[in-house]
Structure 1
Amino acid sequence: MSEAPFRTAAPTMATVKLLRAPNPGPMTLTGTNTYAFSGNQGASWTIVDPGPAIPEHLDQITDLGRIDQVLITHRHADHTESIDNLHTRTGVPVRAFLKEYCREAATLQDGEVIATSDTEIKVIHTPGHTSDSVCFILDFADRTRAKVFTGDTILGEGTTILDFPDGSLSSYLGSLDRLAALPHATLLPGHGPAGAQLGGVVRFYQDHRADRLAQITGALERLGVDATDPQALDVVTNSVYRSTPEHLKRAARSSVEAQLHYLTEQSR
């Protein structure tokens, strides 16, 4: 798959390239997005999410030239599978929120600013999709030109799943609130097209979650079951997601489970 450049707003800002892995599917959309960014006009690069262990994709990354380090948005295999292959080939440090995905480097910290490839990038912890999910803000000093690598916290199309119980709705809603503070930033998602304005997508996600919660609540009332009822997960999933294709039912079930847990928390 050919390399797709992402043009930045001004020549003084960091350069970003999108390298899409050839692993399309129902959960990965057109494939996992690996990003490379540079503040020195491509003399060296920092990688965000090296992606799946597909040789041609790994070649795309190493063909860029000098790599300074690798940053990970979250633990899922389609974003992390090639960590060891890339680390072996380049020897560069790999940083993630969880220690087991780091290589010769410290874990990422919320609010940390990383100096790399002659630019700086800010880390924000955005749990919800998974507990270790982080986003990275590039060119964060200028909110109108900032670019945000969101991993699977926000996608380029459609909506993301909550990998319950590791991910949770209460955490996710808080993460959306944090991202809403960057309404004019450019969205660089882990799957799907890049380039949308972040604020509009965040509002869409917030509205979607509110609508889903209303559907779940309505289904509980209609079916005469409580969120804590052992049968609630099955009957609500079958009711709300009855037209969902079979290969997406597991994701739908996880989403319902997360929302039932959230409603139970809210009722305490």
Structure 2
Amino acid sequence: MVPEWCHVVRADNPGPMTLDGTNTYVLATDAGNVVIDPGPLIDAHLTAILGYGPVILTVLTHHHLDHSESAARFHELTGAPVRARDPKLCIAGAPLDAHDAALDVPGSGAPALELRVLHTPGHTADSICLELTGPAPSADQPDETHEPSTLQRPWRGLIAGDTVLGRGTTVVMHPDGRLGDYLASLELLRTRLDHAWTLLPAHGPVRTDAAAVITQYLEHRRARLDEVRAALASGATTPREVVEIVYADVDRSVWPAAERTVAAALEYLASLR
């Protein structure tokens, strides 16, 4: 369950790579909203985001257009700074250079929100995730007969961008994305999250089993590496030839993206020699 102060606004841009569309997250504070990934430049989508009230900060999880295309227009509409890891994406705000650092959220005292920036390269070089901590949904709070110390259990969510999706698996967009980086990012997330965390992906449904999904992602990547090794042993020499073997049962519309991931896998395997 997502708390009352966290709103999910899905853009109308469905497709093989975006699944049901890009999820924009609107986090309510006493001073205004923090918006994560305003998404594609679709007027109706921006209007829906603005329907939740004034915006004080916009954060981009990475540079892909289905997340960042509307950032400049959104800044014009809101006046809110835009921050990202890549300085080229920032507007009136500093780049998110520090890893595992608290993000300054103006006016976040009610409700008390905390956002921590994690550098999680792999899908892209500039990918970040955000650890989000705040009050739990009202329905999840203990009743008033409990001790006061238990009345405000924190709720924790991972805003994952495209690093971890709500359905299926993501793409390592080689050469910008590197598989070694991606595996390290998944391991980082695995060590930080427990069963109580909620996954807030940029595509696909919100999941209440974030830690389990990350473990599944690691297992999937290791299995794919074994399949790539087998394809190479059978005589495949190019990313396309590997895709034709490893992704034979996958919709061909995603084969170009699969080639990028396979190229990343080949580079990674070469680095192990």
What TM-score do the two structures reach when normalised by structure 2?
0.87
Instruction: Report whether the alignment pairs 1:235 with 2:241.
Output: yes
**C-alpha displacement of 1:66:** 1.4
Question: Residue deviations 1:62-91, cap 9 Å, x none?
Answer: 121111100010000000010011100111
Contact in 1 for aligned 2:9/2:49 (Cα 8 Å): yes
**C-alpha displacement of 1:222:** 1.9
Is the deviation greater in 165-174 or in 114-123? 114-123
Q: Does the residue aligned with 1:148 lie in a helix, a strand or coil? A: strand
Quote the Cα distance in structure 2 between the aligned partners of 1:129 and 1:259.
12
Quote the Cα distance in structure 1 between the aligned partners of 2:263 and 2:270.
11
Instruction: Report whether the alignment pairs 1:183 with 2:189.
Output: no
Quote the Cα distance in structure 1 between the aligned partners of 2:134 and 2:222.
29
Match of 1:86 in 2: 74
Is the deviation greater in 171-180 or in 241-250? 241-250
Match of 2:53 in 1: 65
Question: Residue deviations 1:199-225, cap 9 Å, x none?
Answer: 1000110110011001011111122x6
Match of 2:263 in 1: 257
Q: Does the residue aligned with 1:146 lie in a helix, a strand or coil? A: strand
- For residue 41 of structure 2, what is the amino acid of its counterpart? A
**C-alpha displacement of 1:165:** 0.6
**C-alpha displacement of 1:164:** 0.2
- For residue 182 of structure 1, what is the amino acid of its counterpart? L
Match of 2:233 in 1: 221
Q: Does the residue aligned with 2:155 lie in a helix, a strand or coil? A: coil
Greater RCO structure (CA 8 Å; 6+ sep): 2
Quote the Cα distance in structure 1 between the aligned partners of 2:260 and 2:116.
30
- For residue 123 of structure 1, what is the amino acid of its counterpart? V
Instruction: Report whether the alignment pairs 1:193 with 2:182.
Output: no
Instruction: Report whether the alignment pairs 1:247 with 2:253.
Output: yes
Pairwise CA RMSD? 1.9
Match of 1:228 in 2: none
Is the deviation greater in 148-157 or in 105-114? 105-114
- For residue 118 of structure 2, what is the amino acid of its counterpart? I
Match of 2:100 among 105, 111, 114: 111
Quote the Cα distance in structure 2 between the aligned partners of 1:244 and 1:39.
43
Cα 1:101/1:17, change in 2 over 3 Å: same
Match of 1:122 among 116, 125, 128: 116
**C-alpha displacement of 1:144:** 7.3
Cα 1:158/1:176, change in 2 over 3 Å: same
Quote the Cα distance in structure 2 between the aligned partners of 1:239 and 1:169.
20
Match of 1:150 among 152, 156, 160: 160
- For residue 262 of structure 1, what is the amino acid of its counterpart? Y
Question: Residue deviations 1:115-137, cap 9 Å, x none?
Answer: 31413210000000000000011
Cα 1:183/1:144, change in 2 over 3 Å: farther
- For residue 189 of structure 2, what is the amino acid of its counterpart? L
**C-alpha displacement of 1:141:** 11
Match of 2:2 in 1: 7
Contact in 2 for aligned 1:173/1:206 (Cα 8 Å): yes
**C-alpha displacement of 1:146:** 1.3
Quote the Cα distance in structure 1 between the aligned partners of 2:230 and 2:154.
40
Unaligned runs of 5+ in 2: 137-152
What TM-score do the two structures reach when normalised by structure 1?
0.88
Contact in 2 for aligned 1:122/1:140 (Cα 8 Å): no
Quote the Cα distance in structure 1 between the aligned partners of 2:125 and 2:161.
13
Match of 2:131 in 1: 137
Unaligned runs of 5+ in 1: 1-5, 9-13, 226-230
Quote the Cα distance in structure 2 between the aligned partners of 1:196 and 1:157.
13
Is the deviation greater in 27-36 or in 239-248? 239-248
Match of 2:23 among 16, 33, 46: 33
Question: Residue deviations 1:32-56, cap 9 Å, x none?
Answer: 000011243xx51100000000000
- For residue 252 of structure 1, what is the amino acid of its counterpart? A
Contact in 2 for aligned 1:72/1:94 (Cα 8 Å): yes
**C-alpha displacement of 1:242:** 2.4
